[in-house]
Structure 1
Amino acid sequence: MNNNYLTVEQFNQFIQQWSGKTIKITKQELGDQDSIIMKLDDISYHKDTRRIDDYEPMHSIHLIGEGTTEIDAQGGVPLPASSYEIPLEDTTQYQFDDIRFSLVTERGTYTIELYG
């Protein structure tokens, strides 16, 4: 597997091409794994300078669309909102291996790939 490291600008350019497609987002954080299936409608970035503590990210990417959280092999439950937030840090590593993106942060790893 060839992991190509990207700048945040390159990541944004590539992920924008997946708008309108169904994606799978897998989050691995503190020994826990969650998976989301989403029809990606749009991507936006946010900056929050009024954080209460360091747990809230200053920067984040919002993947916008309708989706479900996978519970088990039988299916999932709808997302509570039509947006999925990934916190971004100055140290976030953006990787692309021709079929999936990986965002590696101090808190966890997020994998985004086409679904179906």
Structure 2
Amino acid sequence: MNQMVERFSEWLEAQKGKKLFIKKGEHSTGMENISDLDTISISLESISLRQSKQSSLDDYLPHQELILHGNGEIHGNEKDSPLPNQSFEIPLDETFRFSTEGNAVNVHTEKAVYHLSPH
């Protein structure tokens, strides 16, 4: 695990038992612009690391993901929906970057930008 992933994991460990708000912005294909923005809340119970030994032909599936476990919701324009499988995945690709912003963090990957803050 690289140093940035380790720091992010440590930050998440310190958030266990708290409610996290996550804003996830997906990049347009091949662009830096955000094309889709999701807002998620999760009562963080635990985190785990999932590693895949198989590589997908189109690199759609990441080799590693940090999985946040807990009850949560996806907040939509019309209504809120339960978080599938009571978990939220953050892929750990080779472009992964992590930075702090006060008590919040920002995570950048090839496909998305995440802003996580405890409440």
- After TM superposition, the score normalised by the length of structure 2 is 0.84
Higher deviation after alignment, 29-38 or 48-57: 48-57
Which aligned segments of 4 or more residues in structure 1 are displaced greater than 4 angstroms?
Answer: none
Instruction: Name the counterpart of 1:104.
Output: 108
Structure 1 segments unaligned to the other structure (5+ residues): 1-5
Tell me how far apart the structure 2 counterparts of residues 32 and 50 of structure 1 sit (CA, whole Å). 28
Tell me how far apart the structure 2 counterparts of residues 41 and 12 of structure 1 sit (CA, whole Å). 13
Instruction: Give the Å deviation of 1:75.
Output: 4.7
Structure 2 segments unaligned to the other structure (5+ residues): 29-34
For residues 71-108 of structure 1, the C-alpha deviation after alignment (integer angstroms, 9 at most, x for no partner) is 13x75111121110111112200111122111101111
Tell me how far apart the structure 2 counterparts of residues 79 and 9 of structure 1 sit (CA, whole Å). 25
Instruction: Name the counterpart of 1:14.
Output: 11
Instruction: Name the counterpart of 1:88.
Output: 92
- After TM superposition, the score normalised by the length of structure 1 is 0.86
Instruction: Name the counterpart of 2:32.
Output: none
Instruction: Name the counterpart of 1:38.
Output: 42
Identity across the alignment (%):
29
Instruction: Give the Å deviation of 1:57.
Output: 0.4
Instruction: Name the counterpart of 1:3.
Output: none
For residues 32-91 of structure 1, the C-alpha deviation after alignment (integer angstroms, 9 at most, x for no partner) is 00011110000111110123330100011100001110013x751111211101111122
